[in-house]
Amino acid sequence: MTKKLIFKKVFTGQAWLENQAISIVDGRIVSMQNADGGIAEGFLVPGFIDLQVYGGGGILFSNHQTSEAIQATFDEHAKSGTVAFQITLNCSPKQAMWDAIDACKSYRGKGLVGLHLEGPFFNPIKRGAHTEAFVQAPTYEFVQEIIERCQGLPTYMTIAPEMFTPDVLNLLKQSDIMCSMGHSDTTFEQAKEAGISRITHLFNAMSQWQSRSLGLVGASFRSDAWTSIIADGLHCDFESLRLAKQLKGDKLFLITDAVTHDESGPYVFTKTGARFTNEAGVLSGSALTMDEAIRNCVNMADISIEEAIRMATVYPAEVANLSDLGSIEVGKRACFVQMNSALEVVQVWYDGEALIN
């Protein structure tokens, strides 16, 4: 059966279109044509994609590697427009990693597009809010086992490249796992030599850009590596966000890094205002939503509406090889967000089904 949405204004991810009738069959766009009438309030944009989110609804995936945790994450973040996400596991022991992989493989709900293993191969001095006891050495055997267990599951992994020997790093890079540099004290030269095309949460838990030592921040600015950023004004100042956008252009994309309050496991993050911290008072994830991140880009960093939306849609789709998401085009999944003039979410469609009553 064909469904049809008619919108006065649509931003496809590339261009603005007016008076569009979008026909949907089996959750995919089969045609887009000019039409009169339809929904006039606000505009339609592609569904948001979050490549780093830890949980939702009071269930942290790092404490509960279950389908229920993944579903709770979707249920909470879909309200603010996120239709696709990589559930993220904090630096964790081996068994929690294996349970996370199994949970993702067995999940049959909505939204999940992969697993983000944030760790355990960090530089301990840049571990941030992650538990130091869970930081582990990247041995050849350990990395090989991760690769084997992740077969068939899109997997993204944040690593500190300076902690690897060349042969083990090459093993990981040549696998299907998407590598990203983060929680790292790497030098500019080491980062360049690593040859990894993704960088995790710019400015946070990494070697900084100094006058005689450019660090991982400088490596991001001197390369075309895809780089994520947390646009909440806490993980980085909005002026830093503005500068990063000027320097990185279309290689900068948004993540929420969002956590949830859950005291039932090894990771407990407490919320005060808009800030989550761990027991030591270290900034720990965020309370950010993707629609808020977009508003912050526009209102606080002078990034255009179009570019802010791309940072939450087109670019993360490219980063994670999600060819059927990220834009509104014939053949792609019918995942959309209706926003009003204040850039607030009005309605969300997931494979053509409205989610907000």
Q: Which residues are tagged catalytic?
A: 257
Given a contact cutoff of 8 angstroms between Cβ atoms, the answer to whether 18 and 307 are in contact is no
DSSP symbols for 244-312: HHHHHGGGEEEE--B-----SSS---EEETTEEE-TT--B-SB---HHHHHHHHHHHH---HHHHHHHH
Longest dimension (CA), the chain: 63
Q: Which of 111, 114, 118 is nearest to 103 (CA)?
A: 114
Query: In 10 A of CB 295, how many CB atoms?
Result: 18
Query: Looking up tokens 């939204």, which residue turns up?
Result: 111
For residues 262 and 270, give the distance between their C-alpha atoms in angstroms, rounded to a whole number: 9
Q: CB-based contacts of 189: which residues, under 8 Å, 6+ apart?
A: none
Of 339, 342, 354, 352, the C-alpha closest to 80 is 339
DSSP lists the bridge partners of residue 11 as 16
**Could you give the CA distance from residue 186 to residue 215 in angstroms, rounded to a whole number?**
6
| Residue 128: DSSP 8-state | T
Collapsing DSSP to helix, strand or coil, 46 comes out as strand
Query: Cα 130–234–341 angle (5° rounding)?
Result: 125
